[in-house]
Amino acid sequence: MTGMEGLRDFWQRYRRNKGAIVGLAVLVLVLATALLGPTLFPGNPWDMAGAPFQKPFDPEFPLGTDTLGRDILMGIVHGARVSLLIGFVATFAAVSLGVILGSVAGYYGGLVDDLLMRFTEFFQTIPSFVFAIVLVAIFTPSIASIVAAIAIVSWPPVARLVRGEFLTLRTREFVQASVVLGRSSRHIIFVEILPNAVSPIIVAGSLMVATAILIESSLSFLGLGDPNMMSWGFMIGSARTVLRTAWWMSFFPGLAILLTVLALNLVGEGLNDALNPRLTREGR
Amino acid sequence: MPTKRFLTPLALAAMLVMMPDAPADAQQPQRGGTLSSIISPEPPTLMIGISQTTPTAIVAGKIYESLLRYSTDLKPMPGLAKSWEVSEDGRTYTFRLHENVKWHDGQPFTAEDVVFTATKYLIEVHPRSRPIMQRAESVTAPDRNTVVFRLKEPFAPFIMAWEPSTAPIVPKHIYDGTNYRNNPANQTPIGTGPFKLQEWVRGSHIHLVRNDEYWQPGKPYLDAIYYRVLPDAGARVVAMETGQTHLSAFADIETFEVPRLKAMPHLELTTKGYEYLAQMVWLDFNLRNPPMNDRRFRQAVYYAMDRDFIRDRIWFGLGKIATGPIHSSIPHYDANVPKYPLDLKKSEQLLDEMGLKRGTDGVRVRVTLDALPYGDIYKRLAEYTKQALARVGIEVTIRTSDVAGWGDRVRNWDYEMTHQVLSQLGHPALGVSRLYITSNIRKGVLFSNVNGYTNPRIDELFSKAAVAVEPAQIQAMYSEIQRILVEDVPVAWLLELEFPTFINKQFRNVVTSGIGVRDNFADVHMVRQ
Amino acid sequence: MQRLQFIAQRVVKGIVVLLGIIILNFLLIRMAPGDPASVMAGEAGAADEVFMSQLRKEFGLDRPLHEQLTIYIKNVVTLDLGFSYRQQRPVADLLLERVPATLLLTGTAFLLSLVVGVLLGILAASRVGQWSDSLVTVIALFFYATPIFWVGLMGILLFSVTLGWLPSFGMYTVGGKLTGAAFALDVLHHLILPAITLALFHMAVYARMTRASMLEMRDQDFVRTAHAKGLREGRIVRIHVLRNAILPVITMAGVKAGYLIGGSIVVETVFAWPGIGRLAFETVMQRDYNLLLGVFILTSFMVIAVNLITDVIYSFVDPRIELGQ
Of B235-239, B342-346, C185-189, the poorest mean pLDDT is in: B235-239
Distances (CA, A) of B455 to B413, B418, B522: 18, 22, 46
Whether the Cβ atoms of residue A268 and residue A253 lie closer than 8 Å to each other: no
**Phi, psi at B146, each rounded to 5°:** -135, 135
Which CATH number covers residue B358?
A: 3.10.105.10
In tens, the pLDDT along B216-272 reads 999 999 999 999 988 777 778 888 988 889 999 998 998 888 988 999 999 999 999
Distances (CA, A) of C37 to A201, B84, B126, C51, C295: 47, 38, 14, 9, 20
Closest CA–CA distance from residue A134 to any residue of chain B (Å): 11
CB pairs under 8 A between B and C: 146
What is the arithmetic mean of pLDDT over A12-39? 87
CATH entry 1.10.3720.10 includes domain A3-283: yes
What number of other Cβ atoms are within 10 A of residue B210's Cβ? 20
Tell me what pLDDT residue B71 has: 94
d(CA B477, CA B459): 11
**Residue A107's closest CA among A15, A54, A186, A43?**
A186
The dotted CATH code for C95-317 is 1.10.3720.10
Buried b (16+ CB within 10 A) or exposed e, B61-95: bbbbbbbbbbebebebeebbbeebeeeeebbbbbb
Q: Which residue has the higher pLDDT, A201 or C228?
A: A201
In tens, the pLDDT along A95-146 reads 999 999 999 998 888 899 989 988 998 888 888 888 898 888 888 889 999 9
Of A100-114, B445-459, C273-287, the poorest mean pLDDT is in: C273-287
B344 inside domain: yes
CA quadruple A29, A34, A39, A43: dihedral positive or negative?
Answer: positive
Tell me what pLDDT residue B24 has: 43
Interface contact flag, C46 B45, Cβ < 8 Å: no
B515/B473 same-domain check = no
Whether the Cβ atoms of residue C273 and residue C71 lie closer than 8 Å to each other: no
Is pLDDT at A168 greater than 50 in this prediction? Answer: yes
Confidence of residue B163 (pLDDT cuts 50, 70, 90): very high
Confidence of residue B295 (pLDDT cuts 50, 70, 90): very high
B482/B333 same-domain check = yes
Is pLDDT at A83 greater than 80 in this prediction? Answer: yes
CB pairs under 8 A between A and C: 131
Strand blocks (E) in chain C: 83-84, 89-90
Confidence of residue A252 (pLDDT cuts 50, 70, 90): very high
Q: Which residue has the higher pLDDT, B431 or C284?
A: B431
Q: Please count the structural domains in chain B.
A: 3
Look at residues B155, B190, B225 and tell me which one is the last residue of a structural domain: B190
What is the arithmetic mean of pLDDT over A141-164? 92
Interface contact flag, C29 A134, Cβ < 8 Å: yes
Q: Is C56 on the interface with B (CB under 8 A)?
A: no
The residue segments making up the domain with residue B325 are 280-497
Q: Is A114 on the interface with C (CB under 8 A)?
A: no
In tens, the pLDDT along C191-250 reads 999 999 999 998 998 898 888 888 877 766 666 666 666 666 656 656 667 777 777 787
Tell me what pLDDT residue C40 has: 64
Which residues in chain C touch residue B187, judged by CB atoms under 8 angstroms apart? Answer: 88-89
Confidence of residue B388 (pLDDT cuts 50, 70, 90): very high
Of A153-157, B398-402, B461-465, C170-174, the poorest mean pLDDT is in: C170-174
Interface contact flag, A67 B238, Cβ < 8 Å: no
Tell me what pLDDT residue A245 has: 80
Whether the Cβ atoms of residue B162 and residue B68 lie closer than 8 Å to each other: yes
Is pLDDT at C324 greater than 60 in this prediction? Answer: no
Confidence of residue B12 (pLDDT cuts 50, 70, 90): very low
Of A243-247, B159-163, B483-487, the poorest mean pLDDT is in: A243-247
Average pLDDT taken over every residue of chain A: 86
3-state secondary structure A170-234: HCCHHHHHHHHCCCCHHHHHHHHHHHHHHHHHHHHHHHHHHHHHHHHHHHHHCCCCCCCCCCHHH
What is the arithmetic mean of pLDDT over B69-85? 95
* Bridge partners, C279 (sequence order): none
Whether the Cβ atoms of residue B175 and residue B116 lie closer than 8 Å to each other: yes
DSSP state of B330: S
The domain ranges of chain A are 3-283
Of A246-255, A258-267, B142-151, C127-136, the poorest mean pLDDT is in: C127-136
d(CA C149, CA C270): 7
Is pLDDT at B13 greater than 50 in this prediction? Answer: no
d(CA B279, CA B270): 16
Tell me what pLDDT residue C49 has: 66
B422/B487 same-domain check = yes
Interface contact flag, C258 A125, Cβ < 8 Å: yes
Cβ burial, residue B212 (10 Å; 0-12/13-18/19+): exposed
Q: How far is CA A22 from the centre of its chain?
A: 18
Is pLDDT at C298 greater than 70 in this prediction? Answer: yes
Segment holding B374, helix H or strand E: none
Is pLDDT at B518 greater than 60 in this prediction? Answer: yes
Is pLDDT at B366 greater than 60 in this prediction? Answer: yes
pTM as predicted: 0.80
Q: Is C169 on the interface with B (CB under 8 A)?
A: yes
Interface contact flag, C51 B127, Cβ < 8 Å: yes
Considering only CB atoms, which residues of chain B are within 8 Å of chain A?
232-234, 237-238, 254, 256-257, 260, 309, 313-314, 371, 376, 379-380, 382-384, 386-387, 390, 397-402, 405
Tell me what pLDDT residue A279 has: 47
Tell me what pLDDT residue B25 has: 47
Confidence of residue C183 (pLDDT cuts 50, 70, 90): confident
Q: Is A26 on the interface with C (CB under 8 A)?
A: no
Tell me the one-letter amino acid at A19. Answer: G
Omega before residue B220 within 30° of 0, cis = yes
Q: Is C186 on the interface with B (CB under 8 A)?
A: no
What is the arithmetic mean of pLDDT over A60-78? 89
Confidence of residue B352 (pLDDT cuts 50, 70, 90): very high
Interface contact flag, B401 A140, Cβ < 8 Å: yes
**Of the partner residues B47, B181, B408, the one whose CB lies closest to the CB of residue C34:** B408
Say what the ipTM of the complex is.
0.85
User: Which residues have CB under 8 Å from B75's CB, separation 6+?
Assistant: none
Confidence of residue B398 (pLDDT cuts 50, 70, 90): very high
pLDDT above 70 covers a percentage of chain A that reads: 96
Tell me what pLDDT residue A147 has: 95
Interface test with A, best of B310, B377, B387 (most A CBs within 10 A): B387
Segment holding B285, helix H or strand E: strand B280-285
Q: 3-class SS at B470?
A: coil
Q: Is C279 on the interface with B (CB under 8 A)?
A: yes
B151 inside domain: yes
Tell me what pLDDT residue B78 has: 95
Confidence of residue C280 (pLDDT cuts 50, 70, 90): confident
Average pLDDT taken over every residue of chain C: 80
B351/B418 same-domain check = yes
In tens, the pLDDT along B175-197 reads 999 989 888 899 899 999 999 99
Interface contact flag, C47 B127, Cβ < 8 Å: yes
Which residues in chain C touch residue B126, judged by CB atoms under 8 angstroms apart? Answer: 44
d(CA C229, CA C221): 12
Confidence of residue A3 (pLDDT cuts 50, 70, 90): low
Tell me what pLDDT residue C228 has: 66
Number of H helices, E strands in chain A: 11, 0
Is pLDDT at C46 greater than 60 in this prediction? Answer: no
What is the arithmetic mean of pLDDT over B77-88? 95
Of B110-119, B373-382, B437-446, C217-226, the poorest mean pLDDT is in: C217-226
Interface contact flag, B226 C174, Cβ < 8 Å: yes
Tell me what pLDDT residue C34 has: 66
DSSP state of C29: H
The domain ranges of chain C are 2-77, 95-317
B3 inside domain: no
In tens, the pLDDT along B118-131 reads 999 999 888 888 88
Tell me what pLDDT residue B324 has: 95
Is pLDDT at B358 greater than 90 in this prediction? Answer: yes
Whether the Cβ atoms of residue B279 and residue B353 lie closer than 8 Å to each other: no
Tell me what pLDDT residue A241 has: 74
* Bridge partners, B97 (sequence order): B81
d(CA C48, CA B31): 45
